Amino acid sequence: MGAVEDLRPIFSPKSIAVVGASRSPMKIGYEILQNILVQGYSGKLYPINPEASEILGLRSLPSVLAVKDDIDLAVIAVPAEFVPKVMVECSKKKVKGAIIISSGFGETGEKGKALEDEVLQIAKKGGIRVVGPNTLGYKDPIDNLDAAFVFGMPQRGEIALISQSGALCVGMIYYANGEHIGLSRVISVGNKADVDDADLIEYLDQDKSTKVIAMYIEGIKDGKKFLDAARKCKKPIVAIKAGRTPAGSAAASTHTGSLSGSDAVYDSAFKQVHIQRAFDVGELFDFARALTYQPPAPGNRVGIISNGGGAGIMIADWCESIGLKVPNLSKKTMDALRPHLPSITTARNPLDVTGDARFHRYHATGSIMLSEPNVDALIMACVHAGIARPREYVGAVIKLVEEKRNLKKPIVACWVGGREIDEVVQELRVKNIPVYPSAMRAAKAVKCLYDEGKRLDMLGKKKAGKDSAGS
Ligand code: ACO
């Protein structure tokens, strides 16, 4: 079977056994059972604990072997040394998939690695696919399934998040919630003893609820498998590859038992398969948000509008320094802009509409700039100067995004003003319009959309080549 069929019982289980479901609210096994219940899981749910008769109102059974029905997924939260025995029982029961939450495996050294290998052998023999060990589990806000410890669900959206770090995974969920960035599936992969990034890329590529795949990676064991999966993936992938330096790499080996490998090799491999590399959580979501909600840029020429010259200049600098262009405008566009501008302002790119601009000037110049054939993408900036009207500019950006969708040119916003304008910026976030607090972040988001355009061109050309070779 392929990854998609293999992983379905894990991520869309009809029945779940929580092995190590605890009677104590302070323990992880209790929390997992509680989280599954809180989200209203509609399949069959079995707490497994030899010491208990009932947990959270459900009858507890001593082993998976005591369950009469089939079990799709076992979520295992018993101490590491008991996991082989539990896996043997799962194998006898013909459980289809397992998530091993327990830590104490490959990440702890040779003894732990031997235990991990033993568990993997049992799983392979029994035909059980395994996520983990040393994982948080997963959270699925689309199908309301929380098979993880740590309380709280992500906001629903179209970005799938795969994380090798469990704790960071939680942090990223909260970050995304705070930024109004919705997620489709969140999977903590832990030590990746069996199910790895490549399997998940293949699985998520088929997932109708996912538009973009965002990843936090410390190390990849099977480079070829990973690159093949990324190359075949039709959806954009954005990834942080951590452990770039000797200090980071040493930390990764004790965190998830990962060999970080040469950063230069990762960098060039990512480029080969068009994975967009991010270097921080903020950047990961900056890119993922742009890719999810704006079209790819058909070229690298950026139009810039701001109500303050400084912001426009900085955006222009950033664009030009990362491979984008800030083109001159055609005479026709300059002529069209002039009637909307005060006499002191020059019709040029970047365009300073000046601090006294109101909705109409901001909207009209944006509209004209988008019609300029030399412009492939637009950055609309606002600085919170005293006479500026950030709320009116927000309205103008929202209107432009709605009106100009058919042009297939991305529009991103750059709002500089910190907490003073946080409330109005939120309106853009809620409307899923990418908005960034600095020139650098806005320019990089556009670069990411330009790179995505190139990736799609390449895929289109490959497909056309194959089609014509086959015809
Ligand atoms: N089958 C079913 N239940 C069992 C079994 C068994 N074979 N053996 C024990 N149990 C029961 C216990 O009786 C207990 O229930 P009780 O509390 O009602 O008595 C329950 O299972 C849990 O067992 P404990 O021995 O109490 O284990 P504890 O909950 O303290 O720890 C855990 C288990 C959470 C798996 C721990 O060993 C562990 O690995 N913690 C770390 C988890 C983690 O951080 N994972 C990675 C996160 S992601 C990242 O950061 C990379």
Chain segment 387-401, per-residue pLDDT in tens:
778 889 999 999 999
pLDDT at 262: 82
Strands 212-217 and 183-188: what pairing?
unpaired
Nearest residue CA, atom 38 of ligand 1? 102
Atom of ligand 1 minimally distant from the CA of 79: 37
Pocket test for ligand 1, best of 18, 22, 136 (most atoms within 8 A of CB): 22
d(CA 199, ligand 1 centre) in Å: 27
CB of 345 closer than 6 angstroms to any ligand 1 atom: no
CB of 187 closer than 6 angstroms to any ligand 1 atom: no
Residue 54, burial from CB neighbour count under 10 angstroms (0-12, 13-18, 19+): exposed
d(CA 79, ligand 1 centre) in Å: 5
Q: How many CB atoms lie within 10 A of CB 437?
A: 16
CB of 51 closer than 6 angstroms to any ligand 1 atom: yes
Nearest residue CA, atom 11 of ligand 1? 20
Q: What span, in angstroms and rounded, lies between the C-alpha atoms of 157 and 291?
A: 13
d(CA 107, ligand 1 centre) in Å: 17
d(CA 20, ligand 1 centre) in Å: 6
Q: What span, in angstroms and rounded, lies between the C-alpha atoms of 302 and 320?
A: 9
pLDDT at 250: 75
pLDDT tens column, 193-224: 999 999 999 999 999 999 999 999 999 989 99
Residue 363 CB partners (closer than 8 Å, separation 6+): 395, 396, 399, 400
Nearest residue CA, atom 12 of ligand 1? 20
Digits of tens for pLDDT over the chain (471 positions)?
A: 788 999 999 999 999 999 999 999 999 999 999 999 999 999 999 999 999 999 999 999 999 999 999 999 999 999 999 999 999 999 999 999 999 999 999 999 999 999 999 999 999 999 999 999 999 999 999 999 999 999 999 999 999 999 999 999 999 999 999 999 999 999 999 999 999 999 999 999 999 999 999 999 999 989 999 999 999 999 999 999 998 887 877 777 676 666 567 888 899 999 999 999 999 999 999 999 999 999 999 999 999 999 988 999 999 999 999 999 999 999 999 999 999 999 989 999 999 999 899 999 999 999 999 999 999 999 999 998 777 788 899 999 999 999 999 999 999 999 998 888 888 899 999 999 999 999 999 999 999 999 999 999 988 877 777 777 655
pLDDT at 253: 67
What is this structure's pTM? 0.94
CB of 166 closer than 6 angstroms to any ligand 1 atom: yes
Q: What is the DSSP letter of 71?
A: -
d(CA 150, ligand 1 centre) in Å: 14
Find the helix or strand (DSSP H, E) in which 48 lies. Answer: strand 44-48
Nearest residue CA, atom 14 of ligand 1? 22
Tokens of 459: 């895929």
Candidates 36, 65, 31; CA nearest to 48 is: 65
d(CA 30, ligand 1 centre) in Å: 9
CB of 256 closer than 6 angstroms to any ligand 1 atom: yes
Strands 302-306 and 377-383: what pairing?
parallel
CB of 252 closer than 6 angstroms to any ligand 1 atom: no
pLDDT at 301: 98
Residue 318 CB partners (closer than 8 Å, separation 6+): 439, 440, 442, 443, 444
